Amino acid sequence: MDLQPHAGDLYSDFAAQEGARYSPEQLALNAADRARLWRAMASSTPGRLEGGGGAQALVFRGCAESGCDEARSVIAIDTRTGLAFAAVKDAAGSVVLVANDRVEALLRLNSPTRDWADPAPTQTASADAANP
């Protein structure tokens, strides 16, 4: 499956349609971890392609309905292999639910604190200054 066209999709839409194999139910999580992941993805940002270190992934980040201080999560899919990484950070702690060293390294590389749960700020404007 070509994942690039799904950049900009919300995770819930992606998982309900084309990306059904990446839903918490299909990632072979137990019932408690599925519920934990869905809670932490309740308010998700649109998926985006992130790259670095020779890897690229379609990354979906989410927060609990009550905010990112309560819970945050990430589901990232390697665009080359199709393998996923899923993790949650909430009151019960930080846990990787589906391990993928390559994708986790990519997420850490793009984080200012080298933590998968702390994404790089989204660039909202061009960094290039206009020449007078």
What CATH number corresponds to the domain at position 65?
3.40.1420
For residue range 2-36, list pLDDT tens digits in order.
999 999 999 999 999 888 999 999 999 999 999 99
Contact 61, 73 (CB under 8 A): yes
Total of domains in the chain: 1
Q: What is the pLDDT of residue 12?
A: 93
Is 67 part of any domain?
yes
Question: Per the domain annotation, does 72 fall within a domain?
Answer: yes
pTM: 0.86
- pLDDT, tens only, 36-90: 999 999 999 999 999 988 899 999 999 999 999 999 999 999 999 999 999 999 9
Decide: helix, strand or coil at residue 38.
helix
Boundaries of domain holding 31: 4-109
CA angle 32/36/41 to nearest 5° reads 150
Is the pLDDT higher at 92 or at 118?
Answer: 92
